[in-house]
Structure 1
Amino acid sequence: MKAIIRPAEERGHADHGWLDTRNSFSFGDYFDPGHMGFRALRVINDDVVRPGTGFGTHGHRDMEIISYVVGGALAHEDSTGGKGVIRRGDIQVMSAGTGIRHSEYNASHREDVRFLQIWILPSRDGLPASYRQRTIPESDKRNRLALIAGPRDSGAALPIHQDVLAYACLLDDVRIVSHPIGPGRGVWVQVVDGSVSVNGILLGCGDGLSIEDESRIEIRSAGSAEFLLFDLA
Structure 2
Amino acid sequence: MKTTVENVNTIIHKADTRGSANHGWLQSRHTFSFANYHNPERMHFGVLRVLNDDIVAESQGFGTHPHRDMEIISIPLEGDLKHEDNMGNKTIIKSGDIQVMSAGTGIMHSEYNANADEKVKFLQIWIFPNKKSVQPRYDQITLNVEDRKNKLQQVLSPNEEDEGVWIHQNAWFHITSLDKGKYVNYQLKDPKNNGVYAFIIKGDVTINGESLNKRDGMGLSNIEEITIESDSDAEVLLMEVPMTL
Same fold (TM > 0.5):
yes
| Matching residue of 2:4 | none
State the 1:112 CA deviation.
Answer: 0.5
| Matching residue of 2:156 | 149
| Matching residue of 1:136 | 143
The CA deviation string for residues 85-129 of structure 1, in whole angstroms up to 9 with x for no partner, is: 011111100111100000000010000000000000010210110
Distance change in 2, residues 1:29/1:180 (3 Å): same
| Matching residue of 2:3 | none
State the 1:184 CA deviation.
Answer: 3.4
Tell me whether 1:209 sits opposite 2:218 in the alignment. yes
The CA deviation string for residues 15-57 of structure 1, in whole angstroms up to 9 with x for no partner, is: 1100000000000111111000101100000000000100000
State the 1:156 CA deviation.
Answer: 2.9
Tell me whether 1:159 sits opposite 2:152 in the alignment. no
Which residue among 4, 10, 14 is the counterpart of 2:17? 10
State the 1:8 CA deviation.
Answer: 0.7
| Matching residue of 1:232 | 241
Which amino acid in 2 is paired with 1:38?
F
Which amino acid in 2 is paired with 1:124?
K
Which amino acid in 1 is paired with 2:95?
R
SS of the residue aligned with 2:105?
coil
Q: Where does the alignment leave 5 or more consecutive residues of structure 2 unmatched? A: 1-7
> What's the TM-score once normalised by structure 1's chain length?
0.97
CA distance in 2 between counterparts of 1:162 and 1:154 reads 15
State the 1:153 CA deviation.
Answer: 5.2
| Matching residue of 1:28 | 35
CA distance in 2 between counterparts of 1:148 and 1:230 reads 10
How many residues are paired up?
A: 233
Contact 1:25 1:43 (C-alpha < 8 Å) held by counterparts: yes
SS of the residue aligned with 2:232?
coil
SS of the residue aligned with 2:51?
strand
CA distance in 2 between counterparts of 1:52 and 1:132 reads 23
| Matching residue of 1:126 | 133
CA distance in 2 between counterparts of 1:2 and 1:130 reads 34
> What's the TM-score once normalised by structure 2's chain length?
0.93
- In the TM superposition, 1:43-82 aligns within 5 A as 43-82=50-89
SS of the residue aligned with 1:9?
helix
State the 1:185 CA deviation.
Answer: 2.1
State the 1:138 CA deviation.
Answer: 1.0
C-alpha RMSD of matched pairs (Å): 1.0
Over the matched positions of the two proteins, sequence identity in percent amounts to 44
- In the TM superposition, 1:73-92 aligns within 5 A as 73-92=80-99
Tell me whether 1:186 sits opposite 2:195 in the alignment. yes
Distance change in 2, residues 1:154/1:168 (3 Å): farther
Structure 1 stretches of at least 4 aligned residues deviating more than 4 Å after TM superposition: none
CA distance in 2 between counterparts of 1:123 and 1:161 reads 6
SS of the residue aligned with 2:150?
coil
